[in-house]
């Protein structure tokens, strides 16, 4: 999600199945790796559109992001949290 978030940033995420979402918000998604996988990957994306039970999500770096432009719209159930804050840790020099 660069340039919005960078390596080392800590995020405060509200996890709830009942949260309200709207276009422009940053959310955490749990996407299956593929149709046969039991494991899933977590992604941070911005909501670009909401159509019924489906959500369009985009990364902030469109040239380097994997998002709804490749996946298509995602089911609402894949959104597991909403980003509500960030703590930017400064670089530690050694």
pLDDT, tens digit, 9 for 90 and up, residues 10-23: 888 999 878 899 99
**10 and 89 in contact (C-beta within 8 Å)?**
yes
Separation of alpha carbons 80 and 19, rounded Å: 9
Confirm whether 94 is domain-assigned.
no
pTM > 0.75: yes or no: yes
Confirm whether 2 is domain-assigned.
no
Confirm whether 30 is domain-assigned.
yes
User: 48: domain range?
Assistant: 10-53+63-68+77-87
CA dist 85 → 11, 26, 70, 82 (Å): 6, 10, 27, 9
Confirm whether 19 is domain-assigned.
yes
Domain count, the chain: 1
pLDDT for residue 56 is more than 60: yes
Separation of alpha carbons 7 and 75, rounded Å: 28
Q: What mean pLDDT do residues 14-34 have? A: 87
């Amino acid at each position: 999600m660069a340039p919005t978030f960078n390596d080392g940033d800590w995020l405060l995420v509200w996890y709830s199945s009942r949260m309200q979402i709207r276009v422009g918000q940053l959310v955490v998604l749990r996407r299956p790796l593929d149709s046969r996988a039991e494991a899933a990957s977590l992604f941070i994306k911005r909501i670009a559109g909401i159509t019924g039970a489906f959500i369009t999500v985009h990364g902030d770096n469109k040239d380097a992001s994997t998002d709804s432009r490749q996946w298509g719209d995602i089911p609402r159930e894949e959104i597991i949290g909403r980003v509500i804050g960030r703590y930017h840790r400064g670089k530690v020099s050694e």
